[in-house]
C-alpha cells in the first residue's frame, strides 16, 4: 500500500474513533464512559507516527512540533486515566481529557499526511520529467548500429535517431533533416526544423526525418538532467518564512513547557493536584502548534507541486516568496499564452486566383507534409468544405518548403528565400529563350 494512502486511512480512522469517543462522553449509562475512554485511546494510539517523530527528534536534540504534541498528548492521557480515581466526577472527565488529546493527534496527523500527499504529487511530476529521458540509444560503432544503455554512450559518438524516437543526448546534427518537438525543454509546441549544424536536446521528440547526432553531453550533464536536478533541489529547499517558523517553534515550545510547569506548581499549592493537572493539560493542549507545524511546509510543497504538474519549474521557496514583489511579468506568447497551433486567419489573392483556389492548391501541395503550417492550411480547406485530391508528385525541400504537381500546375510553397531562388531560375530560363 502506498504511504500516503495508508496515511489517509489512519487519519480517517483516528478521526472516526475520536468523534465516537466525544459523542459518547455526553451519554449517560452503565459503562458508556468506559467505552468512550477505550475509543479515544484507540484514536490516540493511531497517531503513533507523531510520537515516533517526536521521540526521534528528542533523540537528536531537536525541538519540533511533533515532540511538543507527543508530550502534551501523553500528559493529557495520563490525566484522563489518573483523575477519575482522584475525583468524584468519575470517568466523564477522563473521556474529556483523552478525547481532547485524540483531537490534537488528529489535527497534527492530518497535517503530516497532507504534506506527504503533496510531496507525493510533486515527486509524480518529477517522475514524469525523468521518464522523458530515454534509457537507451542507438549508436554507430565499428561500422555497425548497436543499441546500448544511455549510461554507456560516450562523448563524440554518433547517435542514430529514427522518426518517432526520443533524442537520447544533447548534441549537434551531422546528417539528416527533421522537425523536432522541443516542448519538454522550451515549452514551445511548434516543432523546430533540425538540419546539419543544429543543436538537439535529450528528451525531445524527433518527428519525421532520420538524424545522425554527434554526442556533446550525456547522462547527468544534459539540459533535461539539469531541469530534473532543479526540481529535486526545490523540494529540499526551505523558504525563508519556513526557517522563521522553525526558529519560532524552537523557542516557543520550551517557553510553553516552562509556563505549563509554572501553572502546575502554582495551582498545585493553591488549589490542589486535580485542578493543577487539569490546568496544565489545558495549557499544553492549547499551546500545541498544530497550524504552525503544517502551514508553511504544506503551502510551499503545494505550490511547487502544482507548478511542476503544469510544467512550471520553481527553484525553491525563496522564489515563491519573492513573487509578492513582482511588478511586471514577461511571458513567451506561442504555446504559453496561446495554444501554439497555427491557424489561417487571412488569405491574400494573387493575379486572377480566388481565395478558394489559393487554399485548394496550397492544401494539395501540403497534403502529405507534417509541418504545423501545413496542418493549418489543411484545416482551413476542411473548414471551407473542400475535397483535397492527392498531388501527382510531391517532395519536401528541407529547410525551405514543399514542391508538388497537380494536373498541369506546378505548386511551390516555402520561405521567401525559396521564392528568390525560383525567380532567379525563371530569369535564367527566360534569358535563354
Place of cell 548500429: 145
What the block records as the C-alpha cell of 179 is: 522537425
Neighbouring residues of 189: CB distance < 8 A, sequence distance ≥ 6:
181, 183, 334, 335, 339, 340, 341
Rounded to whole angstroms, the Cα distance separating 199 from 215 reads 10
Rounded to whole angstroms, the Cα distance separating 396 from 404 reads 9
Residue 169, SS3?
coil
* Torsional sign, CA 281, 285, 286, 292: positive
Helices 240-271 and 273-287: crossing angle in degrees, nearest 10, is 170
Q: What angle do CA 129, 132, 135 make, to 5 degrees?
A: 120
Rounded to whole angstroms, the Cα distance separating 254 from 61 reads 13
Other CB atoms closer than 10 Å to residue 235's CB: what's the count?
Answer: 18
Rounded to whole angstroms, the Cα distance separating 171 from 200 reads 5
Other CB atoms closer than 10 Å to residue 294's CB: what's the count?
Answer: 19
Of the candidates 351, 288, 378, the one whose C-alpha atom is nearest the C-alpha of residue 68 is 288
Catalytic residue among 151, 221, 332, 390: 332
Strand ranges, E, within 113-265: 136-141, 144-149, 158-161, 170-176, 178-181, 192-194, 199-200, 205-206, 211-217
Neighbouring residues of 157: CB distance < 8 A, sequence distance ≥ 6:
139, 140, 141, 214, 215
Rounded to whole angstroms, the Cα distance separating 123 from 309 reads 10
Backbone angles phi, psi at 328, to 5 degrees: -135, 135
Name the DSSP class of 166. B
Please say if 221 is a catalytic residue: no
Q: Provide the annotated active-site residues.
A: 332
Amino acid at each position: 500500500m502506498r504511504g500516503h494512502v495508508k496515511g489517509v486511512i489512519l487519519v480517517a480512522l483516528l478521526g472516526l474513533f475520536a468523534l465516537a469517543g466525544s459523542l459518547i462522553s455526553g451519554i449517560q449509562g452503565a459503562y458508556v464512559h468506559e467505552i468512550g475512554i477505550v475509543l479515544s485511546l484507540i484514536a490516540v494510539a493511531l497517531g503513533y507516527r507523531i510520537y515516533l517523530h517526536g521521540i526521534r527528534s528528542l533523540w537528536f536534540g531537536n525541538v519540533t512540533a511533533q515532540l511538543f504534541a507527543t508530550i502534551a498528548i501523553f500528559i493529557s492521557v495520563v490525566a484522563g486515566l489518573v483523575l477519575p480515581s482522584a475525583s468524584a466526577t468519575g470517568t466523564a472527565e477522563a473521556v474529556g481529557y483523552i478525547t481532547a488529546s485524540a483531537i490534537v493527534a488528529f489535527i497534527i496527523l492530518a497535517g503530516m499526511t497532507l504534506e506527504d500527499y503533496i510531496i507525493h504529487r510533486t515527486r509524480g511530476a518529477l517522475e514524469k520529467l525523468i521518464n522523458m529521458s530515454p534509457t537507451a540509444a542507438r549508436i554507430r560503432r565499428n561500422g555497425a548500429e548497436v543499441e546500448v544503455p544511455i549510461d554507456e554512450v560516450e562523448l563524440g559518438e554518433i547517435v542514430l535517431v529514427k522518426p518517432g524516437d526520443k533524442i537520447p543526448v544533447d548534441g549537434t546534427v551531422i546528417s539528416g533533416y527533421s522537425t523536432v518537438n522541443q516542448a519538454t525543454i522550451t515549452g514551445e509546441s511548434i516543432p523546430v526544423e533540425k538540419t546539419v549544424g543544429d543543436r538537439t536536446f535529450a528528451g525531445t521528440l524527433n518527428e519525421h526525418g532520420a538524424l545522425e547526432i554527434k554526442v556533446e553531453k550525456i547522462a547527468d550533464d544534459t539540459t533535461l538532467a539539469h531541469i530534473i536536478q532543479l526540481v529535486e533541489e526545490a523540494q529540499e529547499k526551505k523558504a525563508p518564512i519556513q526557517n522563521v517558523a522553525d526558529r519560532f517553534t524552537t523557542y516557543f515550545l520550551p517557553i510553553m513547557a516552562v509556563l505549563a510547569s509554572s501553572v502546575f506548581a502554582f495551582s498545585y499549592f493553591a488549589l490542589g493536584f486535580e485542578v493543577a493537572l487539569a490546568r496544565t493539560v489545558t495549557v499544553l493542549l492549547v499551546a500545541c502548534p498544530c497550524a504552525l507545524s503544517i502551514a508553511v511546509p504544506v503551502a510551499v510543497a503545494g505550490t511547487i507541486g502544482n507548478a511542476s504538474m503544469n510544467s512550471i519549474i520553481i527553484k525553491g521557496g525563496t522564489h515563491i516568496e519573492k513573487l509578492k514583489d513582482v511588478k511586471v511579468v514577461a511571458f513567451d506568447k506561442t504555446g504559453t499564452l496561446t495554444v501554439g497551433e497555427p491557424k489561417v486567419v487571412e488569405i491574400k489573392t494573387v493575379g486572377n486566383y480566388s481565395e478558394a483556389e489559393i487554399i485548394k492548391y496550397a492544401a494539395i501541395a501540403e497534403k502529405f507534409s507534417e509541418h504545423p503550417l501545413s496542418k493549418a492550411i489543411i484545416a482551413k480547406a476542411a473548414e471551407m468544405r473542400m475535397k483535397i485530391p492527392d498531388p501527382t508528385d510531391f517532395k519536401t525541400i528541407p529547410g525551405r518548403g514543399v514542391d508538388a504537381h497537380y494536373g498541369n500546375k506546378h505548386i511551390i510553397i516555402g520561405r521567401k528565400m525559396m521564392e528568390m531562388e525560383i525567380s532567379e531560375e525563371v530569369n535564367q530560363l527566360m534569358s535563354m529563350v
